[in-house]
Structure 1
Amino acid sequence: MSSTTKSQIRDIMAEYLKQCGIAYPHEVCLDEYFRADCYTEAERRGFDMKALKKSLDTGIAIAATCYKHLDNYSTQVYIGVWTGLITYIDDNYGTYSDGLKEFFGRFTHQQPQRYQFLDQLVTMIHELPQHWGTVAANLIFTTQMDFFTASIIDSVIEGIEIKSAMAPDYPQFNRRMAGASRAYAIMSIPPELDLKSWIQVLPDYIHYTDHANDMLSFYKEELRGETLNYISLIAGSNGIAKLEALKKLANETAECYQRGCHLLESSPKALNAYRSFCVGYVGFHALDARYKLDQLNL
């Protein structure tokens, strides 16, 4: 990557954060007590800690940075463990694809899953109503099903030519299903809040969750020469350069964030949750060395 390209990526990211009023966090530390509590909970559930430790650490980092505004500490721990499990599934689809393809059928017939960690996920699904209301719990559950389905689709169509120009909405369709963003957004909303206070912000919330990740992942993906990420796909579908696509997405996502803040002004607790999650989401990416954001000097 040339120094010019790196500088342009940095400038786009810096402008995005400025538009959102989010200061880039240079020092993000995990609460070791929270990490220990998540480990204890995962062990209580019978997780294979040797296999899941790396994924669980990712889940703990997300929960610690994005969900600390939630009053119920057990819900924060639940999110950390659930995210660790979802991350493990995402990272190891090829190994467990047969179990994921059978998941819904076994779930609906109340049969044991092919793999133990999927049975553990079923248990966590059953616990959703303990942490969120009916609508939120339902949406989190259906997000998980979309997430599994997206993984199956990707495996089936592997190698297919992505005809972005003729199917311009496909990148967004795929991104929305595969990202589990709906669940991550909804989990951040305090369950005691009335549905009327937050439901209309959900589309912008989901957009922010998906595409802040796309932007904050772009630098590391460019270093690796990836061509099938969301920004590369929308650049191809619109016939524009990737940096132009990045800038366009950054502006759109900043507008989503600002719009969401205005929409929630009448509900201070919902607004606080929204802002806390969005700021924490940047913090998570800053904390995780995989994203290499420290190299951009934001």
Structure 2
Amino acid sequence: MSQSEQGQHATDSVGAEPYLRPLISSFISSIGYTTAPVISDGTYWSALHQRAANTGIPHPEGSHSFKCLKVGGNYAIACLPNHPLDVQVYVGIYTWLAIVIDDVACQSSEDFEPFHERFASGKPQPTILLEAWAGIIRSAFDYWDPMAANFIVAASLDFHNACVLEARSELRCLVRTKGGHSLAWYMRSKSGVADAYAYFTFPKAIYPDISCFLEAIPDMSAYFCLANDVLSFYKEEKAKEKGNYINYRAYYEDSDTRTVLGKVIEQTQNAVRRMRVVVKGREPYEQALNNHILGYIAFHTLSDRYMLSEIGLGEDAPSVVNGEVP
């Protein structure tokens, strides 16, 4: 049994809870997170639900799509609290659609694989979901500088490709070799759609000068992937998920998942320090970046999706979690 297999066996046997709570608690504290803000905005939720209805995508209350809409809505209002309403709604709908795309891409490869060809040629997509997804990607130019929107579009298309690739038998049946070390981050960087979320921080109406934040974009992109891996680790360990970045990296480094998790936390902390240096003293860019960094933590601790309450790290803020129109 390799070191990585021994470490994984230890994780499964002992359980993640005893060591994860202090580790994650220390991590979020180190980047300045204290507690989730109180958020209540009926206008936002009304606008979000109206735009969701306009897509034509069924999302009856209690359905999987409805739950994904609440997650998407929570993201925008928790992470981007000072953005214009139309931008918040855009990000909420974008996140909703991305989550659904990620969940169902494996069910209809004949529709999902030719998405890029149809997108490039301007042909209509074959389903309401894919047509709405193409539309939300194109409308990025309404809210972000053309160069930023270009990166949002590119990241969105990469994300779609990653969803399709993850569903293909070639990846699921891949016989890994030690020469494939870079594949772990390649897949994570594509599936994380992180460049898009990094640029979402700075819509052109409030943050017109790209030079004030461009240096921070690479670390912001890494942060959204890596912090999610840290905050999703308990949920994925509980589900015995082996196809994630931390497990892949543990294999390639002949290590165990706990060691890799520690390395990922250190990487994430360093990324936060560097991006804060970039925007220090540059308002309102500094505030926007810090809102997104800390709001991203709140998004995870407030959401049932990540099961952090089971290890004592969940928070309760009904106005955010429920996503209801007051």
TM-score, length of structure 1 as denominator length = 0.92
* Aligned with 2:250 (options 235, 245, 252): 235
Q: Does the alignment pair 1:36 with 2:46?
A: yes
* Aligned with 2:164 (options 152, 160, 173): 152
Q: Does the alignment pair 1:73 with 2:92?
A: no
**1:175-209 deviations in whole A, cap 9, x for unaligned?**
00111111111111132331111111111000100
1:127 alignment partner, SS class: helix
1:76-87 equivalences in 2 (<5 Å): 76-87=88-99
Partner of 2:214: 199
CA contact (8 A) 2:181 2:252 kept: yes
CA contact (8 A) 1:190 1:270 kept: no
1:11-160 equivalences in 2 (<5 Å): 11-25=22-36, 31-50=41-60, 52-70=65-83, 72-156=84-168, 157-160=170-173
1:187-266 equivalences in 2 (<5 Å): 187-191=200-204, 192-266=207-281
**1:32-83 deviations in whole A, cap 9, x for unaligned?**
442222011111233323363222111101111111121x211111111111
CA contact (8 A) 2:28 2:297 kept: no
1:294/1:150 CA distance change after superposition, 3 Å: same
* Aligned with 1:296 (options 296, 299, 311): 311
- Report % sequence identity: 26
Structure 2 residue runs of 5 or longer lacking an equivalent are 1-11, 314-326
Moved more, 50-59 or 145-154: 50-59
Moved more, 35-44 or 155-164: 155-164
- Cα distance in 2 for partners of 1:175, 1:277 equals 20
Moved more, 29-38 or 75-84: 29-38
- Cα distance in 2 for partners of 1:36, 1:2 equals 46
1:120/1:224 CA distance change after superposition, 3 Å: closer
Moved more, 207-216 or 218-227: 218-227
1:4/1:217 CA distance change after superposition, 3 Å: closer
1:3/1:30 CA distance change after superposition, 3 Å: farther
1:113 alignment partner, SS class: coil
Structure 1 residue runs of 5 or longer lacking an equivalent are none
- Cα distance in 2 for partners of 1:118, 1:264 equals 36
Superposed displacement of residue 289, structure 1 = 0.8
Count of aligned pairs between the two proteins: 296
Partner of 2:294: 279
- Cα distance in 1 for partners of 2:70, 2:119 equals 27
Equivalent AA in structure 2 for residue 234 of structure 1: R
2:179 alignment partner, SS class: coil
CA contact (8 A) 2:72 2:91 kept: yes
Superposed displacement of residue 125, structure 1 = 2.8
TM-score, length of structure 2 as denominator length = 0.85
Superposed displacement of residue 4, structure 1 = 7.0
1:5/1:39 CA distance change after superposition, 3 Å: closer
Equivalent AA in structure 1 for residue 151 of structure 2: L
CA contact (8 A) 1:28 1:283 kept: no
- Cα distance in 2 for partners of 1:122, 1:290 equals 26
